[in-house]
Structure 1
Amino acid sequence: MNLLFIAWRNFRYRALSSFLTTLSLMLGVGLVVMVMAIYGIISEAFVRNASVGYNLVVGPRGSALQLTLNSVYYLSQPIENLPYTEYMEFFPQEERAEMVRTYGGDPALGQRDGHYAGYVAGGYAIPLALGDYFGDFRVVGTTPEFFEKLRHGPDVDQPFSFRHGRAFEAYTPENQYFECVVGSRVAAQSGLHVGDTMNPTHGDPEGKGHGQGFQVVGELAPTGTPNDRAVFVNLEGFYLLEGHAKPLEEDAVIEPPERDPDDERPPLLMIPEREVTSILVRNGNLMFAPGMQNRINESGQAQAAAPIGEINKLMSAIVGPLLSALLVITLITCIVAAFGVLVSIYNSMNDRRRDIAVMRALGARRSSVTWIILFESLIIAVVGGAAGWFLAHAAIFSAGSFIEQQTGVQVGLFTVTQYEWLILPFVILLSLVAGIVPAMAAYRTDVGSNLSA
C-alpha cells in the first residue's frame, strides 16, 4: 500500500487531533500572509500617492519629510510659509509682470524672469496654502490648475474627474472668489453636496471659525489619494479670510493694482501680503530636476524635496522596521504551530506503538514507518499552509473595496506579494523538521515488546 495513502488514513483516523493541529498552523500561516499583504499595500499606497504628476515639492527650509507629509498627504503641520515672491520665481518675465499688474507690488518684480523659470518651462508650479480645517479634514488653498494639471492612478495618467459639479474658477464675480471643491471622503462623511456652504476653522479642527463660508461647486470622484480627504478652496478666497494676510513692512515698495470702479468684489491681497505653504513643481524636462533641486536648496530661502525619495526613506527608516518586527512575531507563531505538530504526533505514538509493531511484523521496514510519520507532518503542513494562505487572501479580498477607497490599491483574490511564495515551502520544511522527533520514535519501536503487550 502507498505510504502517503497510509499517512492520509492516519490523518483522517485522528480527525479531531489532526484538525486542531492543522488549524493552529493555518492561523499562523494566515497571520504571516496578512502581514506581508498589508506591508505590500502600505508600500504601494505610499509610493502611488506620492506620484501625482509633480516631481518636486518646494517649501520653507526644515524637514524635507515633514514638507512631503504636509504637502502631499496633508499630514503633520506646515513648517512655515514662503513669501509669494518665491512662488513667482518659477515664472517668466511676462507672467510675473501680469501678477504685479493684477495684485500690486514692487514693479521691479515684473522686469525679469524668475530664477527657476527655465527649469519649469513646459511644466507647472502650483501653490498650496494650508492651515485651516473643516472638521478633521484639511482645507487646501490652491488654483484651478491643481485639477487641470495633476494626475493620479497607477500610471499617473488619470485626470481628476468630478462626481458632481465642477472645479472652482479663478475669478467668479457672483461669489467673490469663495468657491470650493470637496474630496470624495469629505463628501461621504460630512454630507456636503454641491450648493452647500463650507465654513473653515483657523489653525485647528477645534479652532475659531472664520465666519466667511465657501460655496461647494464640485465633488471629486474617488482617486484613492489623500486628495479624497481634503477640501480645496480658491486661493484668492483663502487669502481674504481673517488672519491670512501677511502684515506689510514699513519700507515695502508697493504699486497698487488698477481696479474697475464697477467691480464689487473685495480687493485682492497685494503680493507683499501673500504667502504660500508649499509649491508643487513639475519640470518641463525631468532631467533638469536635480539641477533645480540643488539650486533651490542652495538659495537659503527654500528647500526642494522629491516626494517619492522622502517616502522611500520613511518606509526604510520607520514603517519597514515596524512591519518587519510584526513579521518576525508572526513567523514565531508559525514556529510555535510547528511545535504543535511535533507534540501532537509525538503524543499519538503511545497509542500507535502496537499498530507500528504489527506493520513491522508484516514486513514493513523501519524506513517505511519513518516516512509514514513524516508524510503525516507533510499533510498537516500542506493542508494548513494552503488553507491559511487562502483564508488570508479571502479576508483581504472581502475588504477590497474598503482598501481601494482608503489607499487606491486594488486587491484581487490572488494578488501575491513579492516574497509570499516562500511561505509554503518554509512551512513544509518546518513541519518536516518537527516530524523528525516522532518519526525517530517510530523508527525505534520494539516489535516484540509491543506485540506481547
Structure 2
Amino acid sequence: MTLASMALRSAWNRRYTLVWMVLAVALSTALLLGVERVRSEARNAFAQSVSGADLIVGARTSPIQLLMYAVFHVGAVQHDMSWASVQRLREHPQVDWVIPLSLGDSMRGFAVLGTTAAYYQHYRYGDARPLAFAQGQATDGLFDAVLGADVARDLGYRVGDRITLAHGHGDAHDHHEGHGHDDDEAPAHADKPFTVTGILARTGTPVDRTVHVSLQAIEAIHLDWQAGAPIPGLHIPPQFVRKFDLSPKHVTGALVGLKLRSRVFEVQRDIAADPREPLIAVMPGVVLDELWDVVGQGEKALLAVSAMVMLVGLAGLVSTILAALSERRRELAILRAVGARPLDVLWLLALEGMIVMVLGIAGGYLLLTGAALAFGDLTAAWLGIPLGVAGPQRGELGMLGAILGAGVLASLLPAWRAYRMSLADGLLPNT
C-alpha cells in the first residue's frame, strides 16, 4: 500500500474531524479569493466610472480636480468653459460626439447636472454599459428631471413627483410636492419646480446620486440671478422664462468621444493649444489610475486582513492535527513496528495535511463560485462591482499556490513531531 492510499484511508477514518478542518480552510480560501476578486473588480469599476469618453475637457486646472468634479461631482473647479468652446469641439474633424456638463446646483445634497440628450445616448460606464431607465424616460420638457437610482430611493421620489432645486452644493431643503411634504425653508429655486419624468437603473457610479436636467433648465432657473445671488426686485415666473434666450453661455466641462481613439493625443494637443480659451483635455482612464494610486490604499488593508484569516485557518489546521497526534501514537507505533521508517511517518502526516488543503482550496473556490452565482447580479446593481463566474485568474492561481504551499509547510510541524516519536513511546502505557 502506498503512502498516498494510506493517507487517504487514515483521513477517511477521521473524516468527521477533518470535515471541519476542510471547512475552515475552505472559508478562509473563499474569503481571501473573494477579497482579491472584489478588489480587482472595484478597481476596474472605479477606472470605468465613465468608460465611453475618450477625453474630459474643461477650463485649465488640475487633471484630478477636473475629473473629480466632472465625473464624481466632488470638489469644484475655479472656472467654467464657454459654450463657444463646446461648439468648436463639436466641429473638430476627429470628434464624434460631445456631452456638455453643467454643475453647481443641488437637491438636498445630491448634485444637479445640466446636460443634453447626448448624455443618455453616449454615456457609458463599467464594461461599456449604456444608461437604462428603471421607470419613465427622458423628455425634452424644460422643467423635466431624471433622477439617479439613489436619489429616488433615498428621497422616495417616483415618476410624476415635483421637485425643486437649490443653488450651490449645500444640503438645501426642497418641497416634495408629489407626496405633499412642506419644509419651513424653501430652496433657492423653489419658484421653478421640476417634474420627475424618469428614474435611471442603478449603475453603481456617481450617476446614481445625480439629478439630471437640461442645459436650458439651468439657464432658466438662473435668469433672475446674478453673481450667484438673486437680483433684488426681479422675479421671472416659470411661465415666462421661455420668452428669453435660454441658450447656455458656459458649462463646467464636456465629455468627448472620438471617431478614432488612436487620434486622442492629437486632439488633446489641439485643445491645449487653442489660443481662444485656455482649456485642458484629460484622458479619464489615465487620471483614474493615478487617483486610485492615491485613494486605493485600503485594498492593501483588506488583503492583509484576509491573509490573517488564512493564517488563523492554518493555525487551526496545525492545532487540530497536533491535538489528535497523541491519540494516534499507537497507530504510528504500529506502523513503525511493521517496518515503516520514521521518514515514512513524516510523509504520511504531510500528505494528510496536503489532502486537507487541496480539498479546502477546492471547496473555497466552489463557495466563491456559488456566491458569485447567487449575488453577482446584486453586487453589480447596487455597488457597480460585477462578480461574474470565471476560472481562476493569473493572480489567483499564484495565491492558491501560496495557500497550498503554506498549508503543506504548516502540516510539516505535526509531521516532524510524529517523526521524533519513538517506538516505545507508542507501545508503552502511560504512567
TM over 0.5: yes
1:328 aligns with 2:304: yes
1:59 aligns with 2:38: no
1:347–1:88 CA distance, 2 compared to 1 (3 A): same
Matching residue of 1:390: 366
1:294 aligns with 2:269: yes
1:125 aligns with 2:98: yes
* Structure 1 residue 238: Cα displacement: 1.2
5 Å-filtered alignment, 1:398-417, equals 398-414=374-390, 416-417=392-393
Matching residue of 1:166: 137
Matching residue of 2:196: 216
C-alpha separation in 1, matches of 2:369 and 2:356: 20
Matching residue of 1:283: 258
Matching residue of 1:94: none
C-alpha separation in 1, matches of 2:256 and 2:404: 51
Matching residue of 2:232: none
* Structure 1 residue 120: Cα displacement: 5.1
Matching residue of 1:313: 290
1:88 aligns with 2:84: yes
Matching residue of 2:69: 70
* Structure 1 residue 25: Cα displacement: 2.7
Q: What amino acid sits opposite 2:193 in the alignment?
A: G
* Structure 1 residue 138: Cα displacement: 1.9
Which has the higher mean CA deviation after the structures are superposed, 262-271 or 322-331? 262-271
1:132 and 1:138 in contact (8 A); partners too: yes
Matching residue of 2:115: 142
When normalised by structure 1's length, the TM-score is: 0.78
1:206–1:446 CA distance, 2 compared to 1 (3 A): same
1:265–1:247 CA distance, 2 compared to 1 (3 A): same
| SS of aligned partner of 1:57 | strand
C-alpha separation in 2, matches of 1:187 and 1:298: 42
Matching residue of 2:214: 234
* Structure 1 residue 14: Cα displacement: 4.4
1:205–1:390 CA distance, 2 compared to 1 (3 A): farther
Matching residue of 2:38: 38
* Structure 1 residue 42: Cα displacement: 0.4
Percent of pairs with identical residues: 28
| SS of aligned partner of 1:180 | strand
C-alpha separation in 1, matches of 2:241 and 2:395: 64
5 Å-filtered alignment, 1:352-363, equals 352-363=328-339
C-alpha separation in 2, matches of 1:263 and 1:448: 104
1:349–1:310 CA distance, 2 compared to 1 (3 A): same
Q: How many residues align?
A: 402
Matching residue of 1:341: 317
* Structure 1 residue 149: Cα displacement: 3.6
* Runs of 5+ unmatched residues, structure 2: 173-186, 229-238
1:358–1:128 CA distance, 2 compared to 1 (3 A): same
Matching residue of 2:341: 365
1:381–1:244 CA distance, 2 compared to 1 (3 A): farther
When normalised by structure 2's length, the TM-score is: 0.81
* Structure 1 residue 166: Cα displacement: 3.3
1:182–1:449 CA distance, 2 compared to 1 (3 A): closer
* Runs of 5+ unmatched residues, structure 1: 92-113, 249-261
